[in-house]
Amino acid sequence: MAQQYDNFIGGKWLASNSGKTFENRNPANIDDLIGLFPASTAADVDAAVGAAKNAFAAWRLVPAPKRGEILYRVGELLKKFKEELARIETREMGKVLKESRGDVQEGIDCAFLNAGEGRRLFGETTPAELPDKFAMSVRMPIGVCGLITPWNFPLAIPTWKLFPALICGNTVILKPAEDSPHTATRFVEILNQAGVPPGVVNLVHGRGEDVGAALVRHKDVQLMSFTGSAAVGREIASVCGQNLKRVSLELGGKNAQIVMEDADLDLAVEGALWGAFGTTGQRCTATSRLIVHRDVAKKVVDELVTRAEKITIGDGLDERNQMGPLINQAALEKVQRYVEIGKSEGARLRTGGAISHGDRAKGFFFQPTIFDQVKPNMRIAQEEIFGPVLSIIEIASFAEAVAVLNGTAYGLSSSIYTNDVTRAFRAMRDIEAGITYINGPTIGAEVHLPFGGVKDTGNGHREAGTTVYDIFTEWKSIYVDYSGKLQKAQIDNAE
């Protein structure tokens, strides 16, 4: 009998109002049923929002340093349960254990970063324009926040959103992806163990069209933070815009790595392999395009193909494996469909391009796939595939490389390998992306720097770092006039 899990609302574990559940299965072995989770409804969302709204009145008045002390305890518990969390994560979403441990470590880092900000959360003081008057700005919590998170970083991304929301004095409803509910459940158990008061954090499982939509439309949710596809992000932005609700979106990417003719080619190949096939290509920062100078293209491509064919594929819980499965059947079919699109467009399939069978027949495994002779306007070079598919585009100059890199609707992460400092600085200036790496792959963000992108990658907000507090707080300007008389501002006071 599979274990059945509940929602967490107002400090209590509760079954869904619907009484229905959905299955959570291991993508490396679909016979492995992890558990049954609540197929929640709008009624469950309403209950969670009510609990969060009630808890906000007291939580907002807890001094931020005291809120930080709770987050320190959360960080210590995440350290204590790091291996358990990593194994839960690998079992339900497939990435290899080494990557899952990194995901949990990112959550730990995020806990301590935000805990420390409880003693900062800086505003500004500034001279007033009138005598005997004081002026300053401070951050204020917003209220109830809805957080919709994806399956590919099932611990790290919830921490990116939830910890800043809490340290700022907000309360939250977390709606995790249907493909990774167990990690979210264990995370909320840890938050509860650390002493987060009832109602401050609420967890509601279920489908996006049921739970996510109800959360976005709820009148008492003041802010929505979403990570996912651009199509869904546009719909959320539209609904939030109609209701003047704050919304933060972190959406897709079509990230590229440039390799110039003067680059360290061994290093560039290592970066491309990790960027393209780490997490089975299922990262918003994954390297899906490799833009290579024609003078070194053959050498780079041949080496990439040789090394990609040596990648060991299998269950991420087996530490001998380097790449795990795709998340589900729909993802497998999508990647296969794009392989056929690439071939029909005239790109040359150099390796991979097929489902990986053998002893992996009960999982959603796909071979590391490389296309060359790709043109910049091909669909495989423009559309987000979210799988282990790398498209290689040859260029003749640095200027052409930057133009090709910028020539998509997205702008999340970017990379250039070169030993020319002039090119490096011009790339930093001219590449249209929220993240640019010099001589490093497109993946590997750090929690103390802003994370996000331009164009269709989002709506201008940045998670992580200190910029995230601009999402989860309102600015209030405060004036104290101690002159003892009426001083009229914003009129002409000149004698």
- Tell me if 370 is assigned to some domain: yes
Whether 166 and 24 share a structural domain: yes
Question: Mean pLDDT, consecutive 10-residue segments, the chain of 495 residues?
Answer: 94 96 97 97 98 98 98 98 98 97 98 97 95 97 98 97 98 98 98 98 97 97 97 96 96 97 98 97 97 98 98 95 96 98 98 83 94 98 98 98 98 98 98 98 94 95 94 97 91 62
Whether 104 and 183 share a structural domain: yes
Contacts made by residues 439-442, CB under 8 angstroms, sequence distance 24+: 439/263, 439/264, 439/267, 439/271, 440/271, 440/415, 441/257, 441/271, 441/272, 441/274, 441/275, 441/278, 441/287, 441/415, 442/255, 442/256, 442/257, 442/275, 442/285, 442/286, 442/287, 442/413, 442/414, 442/415
Tokens of 24: 């959570």
Whether 261 is a known active-site residue: answer no
Tally the residues of the chain: 495
pLDDT at position 495, please? Answer: 54
pLDDT at position 489, please? Answer: 80
Tokens of 266: 């061994």
- Tell me if 489 is assigned to some domain: no
Whether 127 and 139 share a structural domain: yes
- Tell me if 145 is assigned to some domain: yes
3-state secondary structure of 86: helix
- Tell me if 276 is assigned to some domain: yes
Tokens of 297: 């293209």
CATH number at residue 57: 3.40.605.10
Distance (Å, rounded) from C-alpha 169 to C-alpha 131?
A: 34
Please name the residue ranges forming H helices in 15-81. Answer: 42-59, 64-80
pTM of structure: 0.96
Whether 305 and 388 share a structural domain: yes
- Tell me if 453 is assigned to some domain: no
Whether 199 and 288 share a structural domain: no
Picking from 470, 444, 23, 492, the residue whose alpha carbon sits closest to that of residue 225 is 470
Q: How many domains does the chain have?
A: 2
Whether 284 is a known active-site residue: answer yes
- Tell me if 443 is assigned to some domain: no
Whether 242 and 384 share a structural domain: no
Measured in whole angstroms, how far is the alpha carbon of residue 265 from the centre of its chain? 30
Distance (Å, rounded) from C-alpha 77 to C-alpha 48?
A: 25
- Tell me if 40 is assigned to some domain: yes
- Tell me if 64 is assigned to some domain: yes
Catalytic residue among 284, 384, 394, 463: 284
Catalytic residue among 89, 250, 384, 463: 250
pLDDT at position 422, please? Answer: 98
Whether 369 and 307 share a structural domain: yes
pLDDT at position 493, please? Answer: 60
Whether 247 and 292 share a structural domain: no
Whether 159 and 214 share a structural domain: yes
pLDDT at position 491, please? Answer: 72
Distance (Å, rounded) from C-alpha 158 to C-alpha 78?
A: 13
Whether 465 and 400 share a structural domain: no
Paired sense of beta strands 413-417 and 255-259, if any: parallel
Answer whether 15's CB lies under 8 Å from 38's CB: yes
pLDDT at position 238, please? Answer: 96
Q: What residues form DSSP beta bridges with 366?
A: 355
CATH number at residue 316: 3.40.309.10
Whether 129 and 156 share a structural domain: yes
200: containing domain: 7-251+458-478
Answer whether 384's CB lies under 8 Å from 253's CB: yes
Distance (Å, rounded) from C-alpha 329 to C-alpha 323?
A: 17
Whether 233 and 298 share a structural domain: no
